[in-house]
Structure 1
Amino acid sequence: MDSQVMPREQLGVCAEGNLHSVYLMFNANDGVEDQLRPCVANVAQYIYELSDQYADSAFNGFLAVGANYWDSLYPEARPEQLKPFPAMSAENRDAPAHEYDLFIHLRCDRYDILHLVANEVCQMFEDLVELVDEERGFRFMDSRDLTGFVDGTENPKGRNRQSVALVGDEDGEFRSGSYVHVQKFAHNLSKWNRLPQKKQEDIVGRTKIDNIEYASEDKPLTSHIKRVNLKDDEGNSMEILRQSMPYGSMKEQGLMFISTCRNSVHFEKMLHSMIHGDADGNHDHLMHFTQAVTGSAFFAPSLDFMDRMADEPV
């Protein structure tokens, strides 16, 4: 056994997919940090315990603290790679930053339980924070994006999810935590659906119906898969764990893109590759059919870190 017990991760960070989700974005009221620290620990613990209570419907979730709010809440220590969302723009492709103080990510196979828990969480935070944005996600068909393509095929499997998404010994105080990036993408589906299927497949880099990835030499340099499947200088895949789900109504719909990772570099490099492209300017042509309307950076600490900070006067 490791003499150092691994801090307890928040279970939603690496959880397998669900049928439904609720995303709550909060901003803290002024000067509430001393009350908010124990409250944050309690909310995270509450979400953690409900995973057992509602195990039949695969309930899970996590709480994450915004990059711009972190120092106010936890001035004693900061995750090494935590920084504001890397806003980017090129031609008509935009990845704007829109930061929030706290992010609550709840998922379950029962919608009613999610609604119940979201209500409970908001009550626990009462008078300390303001709910600024709320979105509800759903599984679409067999885990497809609203474009009709299967989403998250590249995700790490099994225990590998933890090794991709959770900080290890490289930043000891923040072991079992995760860097979280959230973007709400609004799709232009009427424009997308006018494309012939083969054209759609070329833009994504895999077949639509049976989800078969194009052979490497057949993938256009502007295909989505080509732009996000990156390697580092040593030739290792720069992986992230995607926890994305479709969201929306007839008015606006798209994808809540959620990346969890043990570092913040992989996401930033992928976003740069999509928006700015490679050295020859080959950018992600999927960006012609979807628009990022938000972009936020968070860190989801371990339960043990939040517990410890709840008791420490700052």
Structure 2
Amino acid sequence: MTQPQKGICAESNLHAQYLLLNVIDDDSQAVRAKLARVLDIFDWYENEHYEAMVTGVIAVGAGYWSELYEGLIPTELTAFPRMQCEDRSAPDTGTDLFIQIRADRLDICHAIGSEVMELLHLHVELVEQIKAFRYLDGRDLNGFIYAQDNPRGMKRRQVAIIDARQDADFAGGSYIHVQRFRHDLRRWKSLSERQQEQVMGVTREYNQPSPEQSDSSHSVRACAPGSDDGHHDLLKQGMPYGDLLIQGLFFISCAASAQPFKAMLHSQIVGNAEGDYDRWLDFTSAETGGAYFAPALTFIRQQAAS
């Protein structure tokens, strides 16, 4: 049976480290073999420090997939859908590899990241590293609950993981989209609580739909509606990051199809025919963006030997 990577559907952790890498080595076989060994690092720390709830994800960039894995390509793997409308934009800054490390201990995230870079350093250059954290009871730094529409329980796997009926060659895989947002919290905090709730479309304290929710509210525009049962076909795994100078959100979505993310992005940036876009984008902006595919564990290990 095809086994997905554990980090795709895992519940949230306290800490995360995100590594965005470009490959500088033409020896694809060596890179494939090293990626399988990254999985071994994840497994070792998961077993040795079980209390830290370690999970990891290895994802390959849309532009690098064909160089790394010759032959078949995931059906919907395409470049990040860059968009621009007025002063709202979603740039494509995708890298060759994206590695997510999550745990309930910051030191374990650091230790895993260090071992991963020691293993890969001859083959890659580190473009960006982001250390993220759980904020309060799962909130973004704007004070509101993050990803309140996430699927729960077994629905997470149904939403995030490709099954054999969708794409038999890549069953167990997941389409990954990432964006690093930078918030203007000083401007955001100049709003009253009522004004903030109008922007977000939910109440800050209890995360209930706001009486003044509108078609331009974040909770409306940042949802990708499901095709049948009204649920949402994205699993959002992002976390806040930052220090006292720069704050934001590292957004990650996992899905069995690349289409829901594209639909959500269009809903946020371009909006509907009446011009309703996501008003939260007046207070945050995407500085990076990338499209990736996280193949099943079985695929990574088999390709390492080919």
Determine if the TM-score, normalized by the shorter chain, exceeds 0.5.
Answer: yes
Post-superposition offset of 1:49: 4.3
Superposition pairs for residues 13-52 of structure 1, below 5 Å?
Answer: 13-52=8-47
Tell me the alpha carbon deviations over residues 253-288 of structure 1, each in whole angstroms, 9 at most, x when there is no partner: 100001011110000100000000012221000000
User: RMSD of the alignment, in Å?
Assistant: 1.4
Moved more, 260-269 or 34-43: 34-43
Asked if residue 210 in structure 1 is aligned to residue 206 in structure 2, the reply is yes
Aligned-pair identity in percent equals: 39
Q: Is the 8 A contact 2:149 2:232 kept in 1?
A: no
Question: Which residue is 1:161 aligned to?
Answer: 156
Post-superposition offset of 1:53: 2.6
The change in CA–CA distance for 1:235 and 1:279 in structure 2 (over 3 A counts) is: farther
The change in CA–CA distance for 1:45 and 1:173 in structure 2 (over 3 A counts) is: farther
Asked if residue 149 in structure 1 is aligned to residue 144 in structure 2, the reply is yes
Asked if residue 242 in structure 1 is aligned to residue 236 in structure 2, the reply is yes
Amino acid at match of 2:200: V
Question: Which residue is 1:63 aligned to?
Answer: 58
Q: TM-score, normalised by structure 2?
A: 0.96
Question: Which residue is 2:115 aligned to?
Answer: 120
Superposition pairs for residues 138-287 of structure 1, below 5 Å?
Answer: 138-169=133-164, 170-214=166-210, 218-231=212-225, 234=228, 236-287=230-281
3-state SS, counterpart of residue 106 of structure 1:
strand
Between the aligned partners of 2:9 and 2:119, the Cα distance in structure 1 is 25
Amino acid at match of 1:102: L
Tell me the alpha carbon deviations over residues 50-105 of structure 1, each in whole angstroms, 9 at most, x when there is no partner: 32332211111111000110000012111100011100010010111101001110
Question: Which residue is 2:290 aligned to?
Answer: 296
Post-superposition offset of 1:232: 5.3
Between the aligned partners of 2:62 and 2:292, the Cα distance in structure 1 is 5
Between the aligned partners of 2:10 and 2:231, the Cα distance in structure 1 is 21
Question: Which residue is 1:106 aligned to?
Answer: 101
Q: TM-score, normalised by structure 1?
A: 0.94
Post-superposition offset of 1:234: 4.9
Question: Which residue is 1:135 aligned to?
Answer: 130
Q: Is the 8 A contact 1:247 1:253 kept in 2?
A: yes
Question: Which residue is 1:87 aligned to?
Answer: 82
Q: Is the 8 A contact 1:183 1:296 kept in 2?
A: yes
3-state SS, counterpart of residue 162 of structure 1:
helix
Post-superposition offset of 1:47: 1.4
> Where do 5+ consecutive residues of structure 1 fail to align?
none
Q: Is the 8 A contact 2:224 2:261 kept in 1?
A: no
Between the aligned partners of 1:202 and 1:275, the Cα distance in structure 2 is 18
Post-superposition offset of 1:303: 0.9
Q: Is the 8 A contact 1:145 1:245 kept in 2?
A: yes
Q: Is the 8 A contact 2:150 2:232 kept in 1?
A: no
